[in-house]
Amino acid sequence: MNYKQQLEVIQGLFIPPDTAMRLDCPFCNGKNTLSVDTMNNNIKWHCFHASCSAKGKYQGEKDMDYVNATFKKKEESPDIEFKIPDSFKILDSNSKAKKYIHKNNCWEAWSWGRADIKYDVKQDRVVFLIRDNEDPTTFVGAVGRALNSITYPKWYMYGNKDVPFKCGLPEHKEAIIVEDCASACAVSNILTGVAILGTSLKESHKQYLKQYDKIYVGLDRDATKKSYDIANELKSYGLQNVHVKPLSDDLKYFNTKEIKEMFNGGENEKR
């Protein structure tokens, strides 16, 4: 069999990309003697049977899948340093931004320094700075909420996209997974809010949540199935005290007193 015929046979095996495996040789019928390697979009094959001539290499095209797989990894490296953009101004510089944090129960978290909130004059967004999970004195990114209806997307992520926005106090033993940064701020006097921003749970979220004794999942009313999925994911990660919190409305529409009743209500009744 010439090279071209061999290649056709090997391609006919439909071995998935980035796989190295041993299998029975279709050329000499040798048991487990054929090695096939599809790393880096190449196909390399070689039979270990001395009398078998199966051996070849096919250089695959470097298509977009290959380019993405190779370069995306570098791009997503969490080590990129985040520098706070010059367009981030103090919150007081914009009345719409101040109004937003008042209306969405973030004012208290901001004024007590639990949340770092600024105004991005360039994108017209109220921005919530994200602190590093291990070193809370370092900012690794930010999340910006559009303050007008024409800015897209509504929520924009600056810098590192893997570290969650969280807001709370060091002594908190309970945390709640919420939809957005404003909800995380709204609950932060009672328990720590961790915003997932419409994404799925990432490794860094789970790592961060490990320190809490009790974890609630409190997404929007219409995300109930997602809440249960997330709770199950956390349980299979090894966190046992996980509860879905049924909500009558988004947490950002409740003030601290109401949040307190919602989470400690049962306890207070007993006293």
Instruction: Give the number of other Cβ atoms within 10 Å of residue 45's Cβ.
Output: 24
Cβ-based neighbours of 14, under 8 Å, separated by 6 or more: none
Per-residue x/- mask for Zn ion, residues 44 to 63, rule CB under 5 A? ---x-x--x-x---------
Nearer to Zn ion, 49 or 214 (CB): 49
Least Å distance between CB 61 and Zn ion? 27
- Least Å distance, CB 177 to Zn ion, is 54
Q: Check residue 28 for interaction with Zn ion (CB under 5 A).
A: yes
Structure tokens at 214: 């009790």
Using only the alpha carbons of the chain, give its radius of gyration. Answer: 26
Cβ of residue 220: shortest distance to Zn ion, in angstroms? Answer: 59
**Owner of token pair 């219409």:** 222
Number of residues lying near Zn ion (CB under 5 A): 8
| Choice between 6 and 41, CB closer to Zn ion | 6
For the chain, first and last CA: distance in Å?
86
Q: By C-beta, is 10 or 217 nearer to Zn ion?
A: 10
Amino acid making up residue 86? D
Interacting span for Zn ion (CB under 5 A) from 29-37, 73-81, 145-153, 181-189: 29-37
**Contact region for Zn ion (CB under 5 A) — 23-31, 77-85, 87-95, 232-240?**
23-31
Provide, rounded to whole angstroms, the least separation between the CB of residue 33 and Zn ion: 5
Dist. CA 91–CA 96, nearest whole Å: 9
| 97 part of the interface to Zn ion, by CB under 5 A | no
CB of 53 to Zn ion, least distance (A): 8
Strands 139-146 and 155-159: antiparallel
At closest approach, how far in Å is the CB of 59 from Zn ion?
Answer: 22
CA gap 43, 29 in Å, rounded: 20
* Choice between 45 and 107, CB closer to Zn ion: 45
Q: Which range of residues in 39-47, 96-104, 183-191, 202-210 is near Zn ion by CB under 5 A?
A: 39-47
- Contact call for residue 30 and Zn ion (CB under 5 A): yes
Query: Are the CB atoms for 176 and 167 separated by under 8 Å?
Result: no
Can you say whether residue 189 is alpha, beta or left, with left for phi > 0 and alpha for psi between -120 and 50 degrees?
A: alpha
Based on the shown chain and the rule CB under 5 A, indicate whether residue 25 belongs to the binding site for Zn ion: yes
- CA-CA distance, 237 to 242, in Å (whole number)? 11
Q: Are strands 165-167 and 192-195 parallel, antiparallel or unpaired?
A: antiparallel
Residues that bind Zn ion (CB under 5 A): 25, 27-28, 30, 47, 49, 52, 54
